[in-house]
Structure 1
Amino acid sequence: MPQSPSPDIYDCQACGACCAYSEDWPRFSLETDEQLDAIPEAMVATDLSGMKFENGRCVALNGELGKCVGCTIYTVRPIVCRDCMPGDPECLMAREAIGLPV
């Protein structure tokens, strides 16, 4: 039976796929008003549903996809961003969608 690759092989700082998967993904869900207030207003979508998505990626993502990336608001990032874990089904789906190996 084939084994799934270990999540350890997926380095978020060398990926960024989850931040570039879909404009609907960096959404707000269970954040408190206090948590939302900590996110810079310029990075919030005009309809207030989540993070602003421009040029095929979340505006908080800095760097080159698949090489070296980082979140400029990492400490206050939305819950959906905190919940996506290296190698989990959402991670693999995002990696595959942008053409990174799974």
Structure 2
Amino acid sequence: MNAFDLAVTVALGSTLATILLNRQVTVAQGAAALVSLVLLQFATAWASVRFRSVRSLVKAEPALLLRDGRAYCGDQDEVGQSGCGRDTEEFVPGFVEHTCTATPP
């Protein structure tokens, strides 16, 4: 599952919740929205399989942000694309605290 799949899944869930809970949205409107999202998902999947440029837009490559509990800023292009800059003093302690507090089995 890539980021686009996750976004469509969340949108489908949100749309379904709106259909069920909001009296101002008719079942036909909700069904049209759900069908539109599913068609968009299929069209994007089809295009990403056949066209490399679409695939690069939809699918993200993983980036190493931490190494040995410290911020990794080795490849500036990789760090820049991930949205994590060199100002990681606030990010790293919180991340390590929330992910490394569990004791191994």
TM bracket (short chain) = under 0.3
TM-score (norm 2): 0.26
**Higher relative contact order, chain-length normalized (CA < 8 Å, sep 6+):** 1
Structure with higher strand content: 1
Kindly name which structure, 1 or 2, has the bigger radius of gyration based on alpha carbons: 2
TM-score (norm 1): 0.26
